[in-house]
Structure formats: structure tokens, C-alpha cells
Structure 1
Amino acid sequence: MLPVQHSKVAKGMQCKGLQDECQYLLQPQLIIRRLLDVAVLVPGRPSEQTLCPHNRSALFKVFVPSFTYRVSAQLVCVGARGAFACPLTLRLRPKAPPLHNSSSVTCGGASACQLELPLPPWGHWVYVRVEMPSRGPSRTIRFQLCVRLQECPQPSLSRALVPGAAMNMPQSLGNQPLPPEPPSLGTHTEGAGATSPPEHCWPVRPTLRNELDTFSVHFYIFFGPSVALPPERPAVFALRLLPVLDSGGVLSLELQLNVSSLHQENVTVFGCLTHEVPLSLGDAAVTCSKETLAGFLLSVSATSRVARLRVPFPQTGTWFLTLRSLCGVGPRFVRCRNATAEVRLRTFLSPCVDDCGPYGQCKLLRTHNYLYAACECKAGWRGWGCTDSADALTYGFQLLSTLLLCLSNLMFLPPVVLAVRSRYVLEAAVYVFTMFFSTFYHACDQPGIVVFCIMDYDVLQFCDFLGSLMSVWVTVIAMARLQPVVKQVLYLLGAMLLSMALQLDRHGLWNLLGPSLFALGILATAWTVRSVRRRHCYPPTWRRWLFFLCPGSLIAGSAVLLYAFVETQDNYFYIHSIWHMLIAGSVGFLLPPRAKTDHRAPPGVRARGCGYQLCINEQEELGLVGPGGAAVSSICAS
């Protein structure tokens, strides 16, 4: 299972829908084929079976209880003679039916053939398949099959009380004791010394489970946390992970060697963590794998006193930790004579590795019915615990990007000054609001450690988005030169509707385009009505179009194009800074000039003709305000 790394959905005023998105669906499927009525073999009891020409294979199973270190299957044909009288293949596989690449042996003659499976997983079924070759004889073959389980001696537990021992009982027998086992089929029975190998039968010490929170479990050993390891035997511990509840975290294991307990001997303590069955460590070449079983190996010594192991998204079930102390220098070690090493053992289950460190955030995720935790890395860091710095951003780059995004908002200062001088006080307040919250939102939104938040991130993001949309709204409405009452109503209505839209979907396309298009519609309607009433293009002066409206529109259009088609996650830091400067610069060009009145015109002249507001607008927009008042009289009379 891979670590989950997420990237932020939006930064600044990023919206979804400005460009085509590549949509894909990853749908994993698990097809389970359940085999019904699979014959259960009674350990130690031979079972006589037949293979017909129309059915060239037979499947059986046997349950492996705890403390079983070997499964062996024996097959012998009945009434067959000759070298090729028994053309059968015997296969073994734990947990699932055998395949063509599973452990197998080919039986040829009448003598018994045997196949062994060392260290089978405890608490699971082992499947046995007997096959006849496709080009084999077209006759019925009779054979006897016997499966034996070699278990560690349990002096304190009877055979019937061993977990899973009753799973191999036929239903007709229930929990009754089995009759005595018959002699082996064609092979000599192993002696007593061969049936109880000491390297696999050390006692397993249980651990105490303490659940603290979701994916937060501590495992305590009895009379711990220090463990004394005598030289003659290892120590085995069992860690039980529950299904569903423990599979989405990280299993961590820490070993710390107490050097004062070594008495100046060159002792190395090895640990082997395996799943479902413990694995003993040899005296010579120390490995944590054997045939079909592989685990995790760690070691501590006087030169390296601490060892840590982390297993993300571990398999549920029982994990076994085997600790053993050996002396000497690698790669070959010998059993220590009198040194008893002491180690401090700490095992726990946590949501994430080291809480994802300073460059990540641990998040609890849910996919359908699966719950798991993963690190959301930032600033280019990767890995299970956000510790891989191969593609990480340097501190200087993080500081530069933060300064660019924050200081580029100072470009709103000229529009604020211009708005105040033109007596657009309300518009200037909106620009100040946008500049303030955009600056501190980007200071809080940085992916690295150069982060400064004056309040909650969600509040800063909402205010930044609202200020950006309100700046566009009030600028376009101001360009329409509506009546003061109508303009104030539109300002208030826009603020309420934009707040509602951002609360519904902060990153939607129409949250940006909807208000802008609606405001542009109001502007176009107002200018069209005036142009029709006056029979002249509005605004009438070519200087206004050439030096203000056209440059401002080009700057704003360039900002939108950069924002929609050029800005990516890699170039976000400088492209979005350019977006700030272009939008602020376009406001300075598009904001209309202050409406002026001619105080030297006679009061009677101002009262006749067209309305007061229209006269004020016309004398400024036509550029006819001069030292005299005659121009005003001619305008109002027209």
C-alpha cells in the first residue's frame, strides 16, 4: 500500500473549471472464488481417495493450529506396480489452493512420496492438491494420503486445548479424542529427537494491549519494558493487531541496548519481526528469512545502541518478535557464554510516522469502509513521514516565495490613494480589506516552514476570496456611474450574495465569473442607455479610451489569461504574484475620475435643463470644464 500524498485544492483565488480537467477513475476489483465442500484431512490419519479420468485433481485442506513448526504430506498409490504406476503430483500451499508454481513433488513408483512445508502460518488452512497429468493413463487411480502436523510440546496445555486443534476434527467425531495414529505410510517414523527441534519451540510471551485513540495503541510487556536476554535462549513476544482497527496505521518498534549489562563483551542483540509465525535466529549467519517466510531484521550493539523499525499499514493478525543476543563480529556470530544482554523494548501503533515532522500533516482518511492515516507532505518533501528531501524546496526559496506573494499585494496602495483622492472612499475601503487579508492569507498558506498565521486559516481564506471578488464588483459598478442610492444597494447586495456563494463553494468557477459577468452587464447597460440618449459613444472622449480604458482592460485580460492558463503548481509563486500586481494596476486605470462641479456657474443655470447628476457627469466626462461657466449652460440646454 502506498503513502498518500495530497496537494492543496486551491491557493489564493484558484478556482476549478477554468481549464479542462483530466478525469479518471481507479476502480480496483477483488474477485473471490470460494471453494465449497473441500475435504478436511485429519492429521495423522490416512485417507483413501480415488482419481477418475474425468476428474484429474483432488483438493484437501488441514488446519494449522498454533505452535506448529512443520506440515508434511505423504502419498502412496494403492495396488500399483512399476516405475510409472503412480503418475501423481502432490502440491502444498498455505492459505489458498496450490498453483502450478507452488511447492510440489512428483510421485512415480509405488513407494510413498512426501512433501514438507516448514514454518506454516499459524491459524490458517494449508491446502493439499493431488493431480494427474493431462496425458496420464485413462484409468482410476487409488491412493492414500496422510498429513502430519509437527507441533511444539505443550506441557501446560493438552492437545485439545491448543487453539485451532478442533478445526481438523470430522463433524461426526466432534471434540472426541482421536484414536491412536497408525504407522507411517512407507517411511520410517521420526525419532523423538527429530520431532522437537528446540530452535522453533521457545515459549511465546504475550503483551498487554492499551488502546489510546484511533490507530494509537501501545503494547506493554510483562515485567518490562526492559528485557533480559540470556545467552542460551531467545525471547519471543506476540503482538496482536485487530482487523480493520489497526491496519491503517504504522507499527513502530524501538530497541535500546543497555551497554552497562554487557560486561565489556562484544554482544549484538538481533530482532526479527515476522507475521503469523515466529522465526528463530541461528547462531551463525543471522537472517530473518527462511524459504517462504520473510521478516524484518534489526540489531543493536555497543556502537549502535538504538534501532527503530516502522511498518506502514501492517497486516492484521499476530506479529512475532524474536530477540536473541550473540557475540562476535559479523558476518558470523557465536553463542555468548556468560553475557546476559539487557534491552529496552518499545512497541506501539501510531497514525503516522513521527507525526509527519515539520513538513507534513497527519490526516485521517476514509475510503468507503476503509479508514487509514497518511501524511500530507508540503514544500516538495515526500516519504512515509515527509522525510525525503530529494525534491524539497530550500529555505531561501520558501522565504522568497512568501515575500513575493505577500509584498506583491502592496501594489494596491496606488489604487487606494487614487480612490481616496477621487472621493471613492467605500471602494478604497474594499481595496484595503483585500490587500490586508490577501497578504496574511498567503503568509499562512505557504507549504514550508516560513508560515505566519494571525488567525484561523479558514477565516483568512474566506476573507481573501471575498475581498478579491468584491474588488472586481465595486470597480465595475463604479465605472457604470449609477445613482448613489442604486450604487449603494448594489454594493450591499453584492457583498451578501458573494458571501453566500463562497460559503456554498469557495473554489467554483461561477463564483468568479458570475459576479464579474453580472457587473459587466450592468456596466454595458448603463453605457448603452447613455449612448442612445445622447446619440454619442460613451465615454465620449478618445483620451479616456486610449489612456485609461484600453490599457486597464488589456492589463486585466492579461491577468485573467495568466491565472487561467499559465499558472500551475510549480510556477504558482511568481505567476500569482504577477497576478496580484496586474489586478491592482488595472484598478488604477479603470477606476473613473472624480465627478466635478463648476462652482462659478449661476445657480439658476444649474437648476434648469437636465438633472443635477447628469450635468455633473457630462461636464467631467466630455472634458468641457473650464474657467468659464458657458459650457455648462450649453450642455444643460441640449
Structure 2
Amino acid sequence: MYQIISHDILFLIIISVLLIKTNYAAYFSDVHWSTAIKLSQYESYRSVTLLSYNVPEQTADVSFSFQAKTSGKACTFREVHVYLQQGSYPLVTPYNETYPPNFYLNRTDLFHIEIQKDADAVSYIISSPRPGNWYFAAFLPKPTSDKIQIKELDKSCMYGMFVVVESRGYDNIEEISTEKSQHVHLTQQATQSQALYRFVLPKDTVEYTVKIDNCIVTSLDTSAEQTNTSNVNETEPVLPSRSTNCPIVMTIEAEMLPSPKSKFKLACGNKTVCSKTVLSPVLHKWMYILLTVDNDFNVSEIQFQLHFEKKGCESLKLLLPKTIYEATTRDKNSNSLQLSQDSCIKMASLGRFIFNQLTFNLSYLLSEPGPIPIPAMLDKLYIPDYQVLVTDISVQEGTDIGGTLVLDVRFIKASLETSKHSIVLFVCLMKNSIPGGETIASCETGVQIILNTTSEQLKDTVYVPYPEVGIWYLALNSRCYKKDTKAVTRCLGAPQVDIDLSISGCLDGQCGEYGACQDYISGVHVFSSCKCFAGWRGYGCTDGTHGRSKNEELVALLLLTLSNLFFIPSIIVALYRRYFTEAAVYTYTMFWSAIYHACDASDLVYYCLLDYDLLSFADFLGSIYSFWVTMLAMAVIPTKVRTFAQALGALGVAVGVEYKRHGIFAFALPAGIAAIVMFGSWGLQCKRRRKLFPQKRYILLHLIPGVVLAFTGMGIFAFLETEENYKYTHSCWHVAMSLSVVFLLPGRQTKGIDITETSSNNLTNSNSATNSRIVLSSYADMPNGHVTSSESVEISMGDNPAYSPPE
């Protein structure tokens, strides 16, 4: 997928060809940068991988190339999303999550790229980009299925992306001063038909005008030329005609090189004097002006003067006191109700104060004069109506852009009680531009708050997530209106306001009742992000489209904990049949599974008796070990061997759980070994008895129901669990696995018979002692363990007489 705007590229090519041979600029060598990153599935903003690339000044175009890869051919390629943002981290909403109210979401530059093919490089070209750091946010979207995967059953696939950036631009663009006029001389020759300059405005500028005058145009008189060609000798020269019009096309751009999309573009045409006024221009950055001969006019040569006229805010030498209304001097036009753009007062910059070492905990305050700066709150400020009050703050890279800029403004009621007018307060926060008297009400490119005394709401707050780097100017002004006619009038008393301007993590350092604010690091980039609970999403965990309430989370907790009570029948059966070790293991499993799920089931409603990792270990240990002891109890092995295997299994299962408790092998390995032992012992019994073991009755009434329950539980656990139905499916797993033990446990154990003693007596009375048999009655088919005389089982010497498998 190539994002190329043809006329932009053609425009740059033309500029390149023309400027290479001029004295204005020279094309510099390409700048390359490349890196490789790992991609993760998007859960919240903490899942994105962040990168940054610094675009040099005077860059003509920058090309971003992205190539996504998977870890193997068996892995299915997944779509990759990349967001590009200049000046700060991109705002990412891949699932259309809603933002909290009062969030300012306008971004200077934000681009979205989708990579849909494996191994195919995707190029994205941006012409005339803004200089400075560009940030990448890359991630994998969620799959359509939210099934919980077991690591060893799912393909172990890793995803990554290779990024290559190439930028091209110009060097040695001529710098001109705005304090004096510039003489410009252009011709129709290909290398001299345009001029490109750069300049910087004074830091207090609120308005400037670019003017072209004193034009001298030399053009060819086509009518005279036709006459001469018919009546005069062809060797006679054609005399040019002169004009005072200015057929010039003027393009002005801030920060980046001019392009066809530039906002400020003016064709002077037949005007004798041509001018362009820009309100609230960009400060602290290079400004560019491109002057081109208008091709619609038959111009051979043109000369003119380029002038700049600037207006700035009045700067105060000292900090304003809190009561500034009468202290400031009104200008001669103060009686006018219409503010001019330069009717403003520039206060001192606000200081940055950090009261503790927490990340993204910064307040902007006034610094009282003196040898030691003392922070003063921005409270009880009088806001005049005849001038705009302006101050500024600095948003820095690395330390500030990962948080949220918060602007809180509120009226002081006491200052409104004596007013005879309705008052409107205009507040504008604009990046790298000063809002003046004409632009504060519109605040077109900034963050705006408007408070009205006729409204019940006398305060307002605006949040700017991941604010862009730069100098942000805060401007305030009031307007008064007659209560009866609603006409604008002079304020008899300026209103007072309290202002809080700060940077915090997430949403005032919190994420509401459905999330927690945390700091994250991606490479060298630090940012705050909400970890949302119970299906809630969004920057502040305020999007409840798929969210669950606390009552629903409580139901999930009760299901997951109380479902463990189904182990009680298994414990009773184990005790009745004298499997005391197994009964202890089942009790252990029931208790720790319930306690673990009480801590793990929900992030909203939970109770953690001990450390979470310890609870998790105890739960997995009990669950896996229950399988081990149950299958050993079903095996026909001597008691001493069983006891040894139980102890050895406990040690092995503990090691496996500690190594990788969420892996399938922690369960499959001990269950597999126990199954080999069990089926091996059954096969040996079949060989010795020369008939089916266990008998059909046990298989039909005990083994099959128990195995069906066990495999049903494992199937639910392995293939049906999703994030949405976890509380139901996992509870079914608890029920199925605990009830399967009731069917699978063998019958009651009886006191053993001393086969050695019996065999010795037989040896004294028979020459074939080695082939002697002992006939024992079977009791396993009876629920109460009583012996029946109708069936018997032969146990060879060396068998465990204390075990009678159900038949």
C-alpha cells in the first residue's frame, strides 16, 4: 500500500530541480535509519510498541517503510496497525473506544497505516513533514476469537516488524531578517523563477503581515512583436514593456517547507501592493516563504521589495500581582469594545514545580520574585475585558508527553455577586502561538474553555492526553453583556478566576472505579496508561460497551469459588473407602482453589488471603496432584510402592508447577506417567487372570462415567474457555473434575493378608508351592464393601492383598 500524493511529489521535484542550481538551497544527501521491533497484541495502550525518529529541519519528504514478519511458516500472518504522530505519542483507538468527557483530541499530524500482507514492504511518504520527533505506535489487533489458549496447544508464534526511514531535504536556505526589507529579483529562467526564504518571528508576535511592493515588471509586448515580424527587419530587437503590477504567487508555511496544501497562499496578480496578514503565527520555529513568478502572466523579469510588519504583546518586566485590574495601564483605545489582535499583556512564564518524585506529577505555578523562587498558585486572578492576559508553559519531551495535561478554570463566586452584567470568560491554550484579541474567542487551533455566568456551571476542565512538545500559551479575557439587551458593554468590575494547570498520569492520576493508572516503558519511552478491569476500555476506562458491573463480577467470584464445594462428595467417598491420603489431597485442593479464585476471579471484587503467586502455586499444585493420587489409587500396585509414588509425585509436581504452571506439560506429564502405571498394572492383571480386568460392571458403571466427566472437564478447559464465558466454563471444569473422583476411586480397602505366612504353610504341605494360589472373595462390587461369595478373584503371590479393584 503506497500513500503518495502525486501533485505534492511533482511539486517537490520541480522545486528540487530549480533550487539545486540556485543560491537559495542545495539538495542534501539522504538520511537513513532502520530498526527492528517486536509486536504485541493490543489489550490497552500499554501493549503498543513505541519508536521515535527525528526528522531534520528543512526536510522535503520522508519515506517510512514497514515490513512485518512472523516467526515461522506455520504461523498465520496477522494484520499490523501503525500510527504516526509528530511531537507526541499517537492516540490509538483501534476498537473505537470512547474517551472520557472534556478530552481534547485534535492532533497536529496523525497518520494510520495498515499492513495486511506478510513480507511485503509497505511504504508511506509524507511530503513537507514537520521537523522534530515523529513517534510510531505499532501493535497487532485482537483476533476475532477471544478463546483462552493453552500455550503448548497454541502455535508459539512471534511477530515483528522491520522499519526503515529515509528523509530528503534542503540545506543552506537563505535566512532573512524581519526587521528590514528584502530586495528580490526573479526571471523566467528555470533556475531563477522562484525564491525560497526562511525567517523567525520575535517571541511576543501575535500578528504579522508580509507585504510586496515597489514592483518593476519587465514583460514582452506580444502585439508589438507581431507588428515587427511583419513590417520590420527581423534583425531589429523587440523592445520590452514595463509594468508596476506584481504577478507573484506567495506561499507561507510554518515549521515545514511550502507545499500545494499550504494554508497561506496568495496570488498577487495585477495588484500593485500585495500583502498577507497572519494572526497568532507559530513562534520558536522556522517560517518559510516561497515567491514564484505567476505563469499566467507573460513576465520576463520582475523586481520587488519584501517587507514584514509585526505586532506583539506588551511584555511586563515584573510578575503581575494577583489584583491586576487597576494596576495595569489602559491604552488609548481602552474605551473601544472591539479588541485588536495586539491588545494583550504578556506575563512571565509559569514555573514547573514537582512536589514529589512520582512520574507525571507536575504543576505549573507562578514564581514569586526574589532570590529563592516561591511557587504561587494561579488563584484570584482578575481577568480584564480590554486586554488579553497571556502566559506560557513548557511541555518537554520525555518527561511530559507521556502524561495528561489538565486545565481547570473556575469563577470565584464572590467576584460575580456585585456585577450588574452577565460575564463570559474566554480561555485559550494554544501550542507555539499566542492567542490575541481577535483569536482568543475562536481559538481555532487550540484548547478552549468558555464560562458564562448565566450558566449554572461556573467551572470547567479540559484534558489533553499525551500533549505535544512545545511552548503552550494560555490566554484569558472576559466579556460583559447587558442582562436586558444582551449587548456588549464595558465591564464595571473584572471577574476573578482560579486556574489549575498541571500534568498528571491518566485521568487525574486515576482511572475511575474500573481501572488503575500505571506507568509503562516501551524502549526509552515512558508513558502512563490505564489498566482496565471487567471488560471496560478506553483512555480512562470509561467505555463500558463490553463492561461488567460489580454485581456481575461478584456472581463470577461466587461461581468460581463455590463450585469447588463439589469436591465434598469426593472427600466423603475417599474417607468412607479409607483413602485417607487422597481425602487430604482433595480437601487441600478444594480449599486452595476456592481461596485462589476469590483473589483471581475479578479485579473489582476480590479477597486475597495471601500473596497471589503463593495462592496460584497452591491451586495448581492441588489440581495436578489430585490427578496423580487418584490414578495411583486406581492402579493395582503394592501399598509401599503406592506410598513411595505419592511422595515422589508430590515433589515432581511441585517442581513442574513452579517451573511453568500455566503450561500443559505441568499437567500432562504427571497424568501421563500415572496413566502408564495404572494401565500397566491393569494389563498385568489381565495377563495373570487371563480375563478382562477390571470387569465389565466396573467399566460400565464406574470407569466410563468417571472418564466421561474427566474428559468433559478437560475439553471445556482446553477448547471452550473464553474471556467472556470464563466464570461459567471454569466453574463447570471444577464440577466435572471433582465429581469424576466419586466414580473413579476403587472400593473400600480391607486389612491385608499375610501372603508370606500363608505361602510358607502351603510350601510345607505341597511340592508345588511356587504355583500355589490363594482364593479371595471380591468385595468391590458392593457399595458398602461387603464380601460376596458369588465371585472370587485369584491373586498371585506378590500381589497387594489390601487392594481390590472394583469389578
Candidates 175, 178, 192, aligned match of 1:40: 175
Q: How does 1:182-221 map to 2 (within 5 A)?
A: 197=340, 199=342, 201-211=344-354, 212=356, 213-221=358-366
Candidates 446, 468, 478, aligned match of 1:294: 446
Please give the TM-score of this superposition, normalised by the length of structure 2: 0.64
Residues in 1 aligned to 2:725 and 2:469: alpha-carbon distance in whole angstroms? 43
Q: Give the match's secondary structure for 1:150.
A: strand
Partner of 2:287: 126
Percentage of identical aligned residues:
26
Shift of 1:249: 0.7
Partner of 1:228: 381
Query: Which residues of structure 1 form unaligned runs of 5+?
Result: 158-192
Q: Per-residue displacement from partner, 1:487-515 (whole Å, max 9, x unpaired)? A: 44444444444444444444334333343
Candidates 210, 215, 238, aligned match of 1:73: 210
Residues in 2 aligned to 1:598 and 1:217: alpha-carbon distance in whole angstroms? 78
Report which of the two has the higher share of strand: 2
Q: Does the alignment pair 1:586 with 2:722?
A: no
Q: Per-residue displacement from partner, 1:18-52 (whole Å, max 9, x unpaired)? A: 44689766778765444322222222330435464
Q: Per-residue displacement from partner, 1:551-608 (whole Å, max 9, x unpaired)? A: 1111121222222222211112212211111111122222333333477999525986
Q: Does the alignment pair 1:508 with 2:660?
A: no
Segment drifting more, 250-259 vs 27-36 = 27-36
Q: Does the alignment pair 1:480 with 2:625?
A: no
Q: Per-residue displacement from partner, 1:124-154 (whole Å, max 9, x unpaired)? A: 11122234578997x9755556352614266
Candidates 421, 428, 433, aligned match of 2:588: 433
Residues in 1 aligned to 2:776 and 2:194: alpha-carbon distance in whole angstroms? 98
| Contact 1:375–1:386, Cα closer than 8 Å, also in 2 | yes
| Contact 1:53–1:140, Cα closer than 8 Å, also in 2 | no
Cα distance change, pair 633–321 in 1 and its aligned pair in 2 (3 A): closer
Which letter maps to 2:449?
L
Segment drifting more, 438-447 vs 143-152 = 143-152
Residues in 1 aligned to 2:295 and 2:698: alpha-carbon distance in whole angstroms? 93
| Contact 2:519–2:527, Cα closer than 8 Å, also in 1 | yes
| Contact 1:279–1:288, Cα closer than 8 Å, also in 2 | no
| Contact 1:273–1:295, Cα closer than 8 Å, also in 2 | yes
Candidates 683, 708, 719, aligned match of 1:554: 708
Shift of 1:247: 0.5
Partner of 2:256: 96
Residues in 2 aligned to 1:156 and 1:235: alpha-carbon distance in whole angstroms? 11
Residues in 1 aligned to 2:416 and 2:410: alpha-carbon distance in whole angstroms? 13
Partner of 1:252: 406
Residues in 2 aligned to 1:344 and 1:356: alpha-carbon distance in whole angstroms? 25
Partner of 1:117: 278
| Contact 1:12–1:438, Cα closer than 8 Å, also in 2 | no
Q: How does 1:623-634 map to 2 (within 5 A)?
A: 626=787, 631=792
Shift of 1:123: 0.7
| Contact 1:200–1:279, Cα closer than 8 Å, also in 2 | no
Q: Does the alignment pair 1:564 with 2:718?
A: yes
| Contact 2:344–2:437, Cα closer than 8 Å, also in 1 | no
Candidates 602, 608, 611, aligned match of 1:453: 608
Cα distance change, pair 617–276 in 1 and its aligned pair in 2 (3 A): farther
Cα distance change, pair 133–26 in 1 and its aligned pair in 2 (3 A): farther
Cα distance change, pair 413–626 in 1 and its aligned pair in 2 (3 A): closer
Q: Give the match's secondary structure for 2:706.
A: helix
Cα distance change, pair 220–630 in 1 and its aligned pair in 2 (3 A): closer
Shift of 1:278: 2.7
Segment drifting more, 11-20 vs 97-106 = 11-20
Which letter maps to 2:552?
F
| Contact 2:246–2:274, Cα closer than 8 Å, also in 1 | no
Please give the TM-score of this superposition, normalised by the length of structure 1: 0.80
Shift of 1:255: 2.2
Cα distance change, pair 110–351 in 1 and its aligned pair in 2 (3 A): closer
Candidates 724, 730, 733, aligned match of 1:576: 730
Q: Give the match's secondary structure for 1:441.
A: helix
Segment drifting more, 355-364 vs 75-84 = 75-84
| Contact 1:250–1:310, Cα closer than 8 Å, also in 2 | yes
| Contact 2:184–2:304, Cα closer than 8 Å, also in 1 | yes
Q: Per-residue displacement from partner, 1:261-316 (whole Å, max 9, x unpaired)? A: 2234233433222222231466xx973424xx332324263722332221111112
Q: Per-residue displacement from partner, 1:335-360 (whole Å, max 9, x unpaired)? A: 55222322222222111214112210
Cα distance change, pair 315–554 in 1 and its aligned pair in 2 (3 A): same
* RMSD (Å) for aligned C-alpha atoms: 4.2
Shift of 1:372: 0.7
Cα distance change, pair 617–466 in 1 and its aligned pair in 2 (3 A): farther
Candidates 195, 200, 203, aligned match of 1:63: 200
Q: Give the match's secondary structure for 2:604.
A: coil
Residues in 2 aligned to 1:13 and 1:471: alpha-carbon distance in whole angstroms? 23
Residues in 2 aligned to 1:59 and 1:618: alpha-carbon distance in whole angstroms? 109
Q: Per-residue displacement from partner, 1:438-460 (whole Å, max 9, x unpaired)? A: 22222222446332222233332
Residues in 2 aligned to 1:333 and 1:217: alpha-carbon distance in whole angstroms? 41
Q: How does 1:387-398 map to 2 (within 5 A)?
A: 387-398=542-553
Q: Per-residue displacement from partner, 1:593-634 (whole Å, max 9, x unpaired)? A: 3333477999525986999xx989995679998466995777
Q: Per-residue displacement from partner, 1:206-231 (whole Å, max 9, x unpaired)? A: 22211232111122235434132243
| Contact 1:254–1:346, Cα closer than 8 Å, also in 2 | yes
Q: Per-residue displacement from partner, 1:94-143 (whole Å, max 9, x unpaired)? A: 11112212121124358453333321222111122234578997x97555
Shift of 1:546: 0.9
| Contact 1:56–1:133, Cα closer than 8 Å, also in 2 | no
| Contact 2:775–2:792, Cα closer than 8 Å, also in 1 | no
Cα distance change, pair 546–71 in 1 and its aligned pair in 2 (3 A): same
